[in-house]
Amino acid sequence: MLHGRSEELAVVDGLLSDARAGRSGVLVVRGEAGIGKSALLAHAAQGGGGAGEFRILRGTAVESESVVPFAGLNLLLGSVMDRVDALPPNQSTALRGALGLAPSDGGDYYLVGLAVLTLLADLAEQGPVLCLVDDAHWLDQGSAHALVFAARRLQAEGIAMIFAARDLHAPPFPAPGLPELRLTGLTPEHATALLEEHAADLPRYVRDQIAQEARGNPLALLELPAAQREGHLPTAHGYRVAALPTHSRIQQTFADRIGALPERTRTLLLIAAADDTGDPGVVFTAAGLLGASVDDLEVAEQRQLLRSDEGRLTFRHPLIRAAAYQSASLVRRLAVHKALAHALADVLDDDHRSAWHLAAATTAPDEDVAAALARTAEDARGRGGYVAVASAYQRAADLSPDPAQRGHRLAAAAGAAGAAGQFDRAAVLAEQAWDLVPNHVDKARVARIQAKLASEQGRLAQASQQLVRAAMCARQTEPELAGEMLFFSAQHAWAGRDLDAVREIASLAADLPGAEDTRLTAQAATGLDGGDVPGGMAALRTLLGSQYVGGPGNAITAWWHLVLGDDQAAYDWASLLERQSRAQGALGVLPRALAYLARGRLHLGQHRDARAAAEEGMRIAADIGQTFSVGFLASVLAELAAIEGDDARCEELVATMTDGPTQSVRAACALALLDLGSGRHDAVLDRLADVAAGAHRLYALSSLPDLVEAAVRLGKDAIAEDAATWYDEWALNTGRLWAQAVAARCRALLTDDEQWFTRAVDLHRADEGRPFERARTELLYGEWLRRARRKADARTHLRSASDLFERLGATPWANRARTELRATGESRAVPGPNPLGTLTPQELQVVRLAAEGLTNRDIGAQLFLSPRTVGYHLYKAYPKLGVTSRAGLGRLTVS
């Protein structure tokens, strides 16, 4: 019986009930040590085990395994590894490689999470599944990311997943977006009831003192009476040790109890505490080396400290393990780690764990031990365990006698820490490596790592400077490498709008391979941002054939197509990159691909699909810590919200766009479009006047016509003329009719001359690009004609604008067009919703792929969902679309 936990038990029981009904759910139970998290998990296991209805997967993470790549997954999934071969091939390969069951192909780290999701969903086809992870704060990062990644995508599989994580005195267990249940201490009434049940033999005054000391912590209420019986908790009236926190008090109690055991039993407990396998063969082999044996286990079992559970030696509570280890002297710990290193090598042939125990037993530099750790680091790299790689190389560096070797290992640790998203740690390691590596080529490689770290965090100027630093180190011995680094340094400097730095970098590259591409970068940057628009555009077109830019997988290519006004080429390139990323499970690349794909779809008028791509990209980017990509994707969604007139949503998205000046410009542009749709012209001018005239004008390119319109309305013709002139020159050099149409519209607003309106409309009708801009042109021309009292002519353009705006979901703009139509004497009913418009973004993605003939399993692999969740989305979409099966989707226009 769990005293005082009725509400918490109801939450867990509800989760199990939902899973039985096919609805998945996740719960993260948080609280201090001993507060009852494990007891809730035990209750869930008992509730899920009735009549064998749940398939239960259960594991407890261990502190010493937190540096072992995917140790947590090994523990949790060990009983179902026979199902891995049924996964899609790339997922099966990734999961087997991560778990060390097959050679790794070096695939994407997060593909492992998708494999876990699919495996759990496959298990749920036979019945509900219950996953229980205790002490989740000790999970290695690979396992934690994979499990949280899968948990966020559970929907309709019939899976219940519960994590238990400690709040204090432990590392954080980040699980943003997952439901949480926080446990607090028991009330005095429930604490008294618990003591009466388990400590009725103690005098009432002793129970009262224990209740006061335990502060509602259930483990303390159970353990302090045991300690008192054994003589380790003296009690008397006035006894107080309240200065100690509950966690420390319980651990000290365990330490006192362990200290009273026979020496050989204490040795056995220390070995079990230092070991992370729980393998009796390992523990007893190490114990034999230190004079203990299996016979010494009996006393620990009698005292309920250590027990054998399903063939593993386990502590009854993690604090017992901590007490056994931390209360031992350093000399005894060193001896135990050395014994475990030998036992692991002999019994399990586990070189990875053996090397770590050797390192723990080593107090002075030792190249043999350092080299062994370095070998385990490379094994971890193949499995995608970058945190383990960083930790192993960092410890190997600590033990390296040779400074140069120490520098190389620190550099390797820095690179791995960066790949794991630990940017601050990586920066410190890289700086340490810089001071130790012996030659210029090595320094160049370290500087490249530093540049990548800066770029990932949006520090473009610093990234550019680090690449220059690297190139200068490598230019004598590795000129090709130096030339490539200078080229990308120029790209970062341009993205950071530092044109002086771009010119300087181009001069540094003058005598290196790739110099022409770097020179073209400088020409494109200074031209587009410095006044020579034709020269800048020409240089940019030539750059698209660069050996560095034009290769598959380079997202910047899509951006440059957009700068050139070629929306279709940008869309095609981003679409190719998206397909490649999905096929390879490359989640690290996919958010940027989806960002450009979403922007391309937005420009092409595919607003529903743009939203679906951007929202998926944001979910993935948030999962893998790509904050810069989150902001980029938010800018697309903010622009969509602005077009639809959703003030709250637009402002909410803009609030997330805080990563550097580029995102600030995009935020201003989205808000300005929102203001323009509502007729707030003063606000548009305030947001765009400085942006359009400043160094970031290129990122505000699509908003220059907005500035022209607002400035004309306010009589600010000088501001409007400047923006229109620059836009006109850019549009002419793109060669795109839609761009020239928008430029003509701007000129029509400035001159009030109908010939510019007619030219704009004719150009739009000859080019299907940017339908939202075409609708705006037709609206402005219709308004101009109505004011000229040419109502019949106005109706033609206003109808066209109204139809386009309605198709695009541009509500405020459609309302404005209908208002103008009514002013011409024609009333138009508000249209009913488009069936596709009633679908959620994820339902829309699923429906489109299903209409192409893909199976639920294929769709799930593409969208990182389980097949059952795909089926659930189709089930929800069919009635919205008025169809009853997949066959009906073929009759819909879903492209």
- Residue-wise pLDDT tens digits, 543-588: 887 767 655 456 778 888 998 999 999 999 999 888 877 776 666 6
795 with 854, same domain?
no
Which residues have a Cβ under 8 Å from the Cβ of 52 and sit 6 or more positions away? none
State the Cα angle at 216 between 215 and 221, rounded to 5°. 95
* 746: in domain: yes
800 with 656, same domain?
yes
38 with 94, same domain?
yes
242 with 266, same domain?
no
* 426: in domain: no
236 with 265, same domain?
no
* 530: in domain: yes
Residue at a domain's end among 125, 150, 182: 182
Residues of the chain with pLDDT under 50: 50-51, 235-245, 552, 894-895
pLDDT tens sequence across 417-448: 887 767 788 889 999 998 899 888 888 888 88
Q: How much is the pLDDT for 249?
A: 65
* 661: in domain: yes
Which residues have a Cβ under 8 Å from the Cβ of 840 and sit 6 or more positions away? 873
CATH code, domain carrying 647: 1.25.40.10
Cα separation, 112 vs 384, whole angstroms: 9
270 with 406, same domain?
no
Range of the domain at 219: 188-258
* 430: in domain: no
Q: Which amino acid is at 208?
A: D
Collapse the DSSP code of 55 into the 3-class scheme (helix H, G, I; strand E, B; otherwise coil) and give the result.
Answer: strand
335 with 350, same domain?
yes
Residue at a domain's end among 115, 147, 182: 182
Report DSSP state, residue 30.
E
Cα separation, 357 vs 347, whole angstroms: 14
Residue 104: Cβ within 10 Å count = 20
235 with 324, same domain?
no
Q: What pTM was computed for the model?
A: 0.74
Residues 445-452: contacts with CB under 8 Å, at least 24 apart: 445/411, 445/470, 446/411, 446/414, 446/470, 447/473, 448/485, 449/411, 449/414, 449/415, 449/418, 450/414, 451/485, 451/488, 451/489, 451/492, 452/418
Q: What angle in degrees, to the nearest 10, is found between the helix axes of 841-851 and 856-863?
A: 130
116 with 172, same domain?
yes
Residue at a domain's end among 343, 358, 373: 358
Q: What is the 3-state secondary structure (H, E, C) of 170-218?
A: CCCCCCCCCCEEECCCCCHHHHHHHHHHHCCCCCHHHHHHHHHHHCCCH
The closest of 452, 430, 338, 416 to 69, measured between CA atoms, is: 416
- Cα-only R_g, the chain: 33
Strand bridging mode 129-134 / 159-166: parallel
Cα separation, 645 vs 145, whole angstroms: 37
- Report the domain count for the chain: 7
Q: Which residue has the tokens 């919205």?
A: 880
* 252: in domain: yes
Report DSSP state, residue 622.
H
710 with 757, same domain?
yes
Q: How much is the pLDDT for 244?
A: 40
353 with 469, same domain?
no
714 with 797, same domain?
yes
Q: How many CA atoms lie within 13 A of 401 on its CB side?
A: 7
* 574: in domain: no
* 814: in domain: yes
* Maximum C-alpha span of the chain: 105
CATH code, domain carrying 862: 1.10.10.10
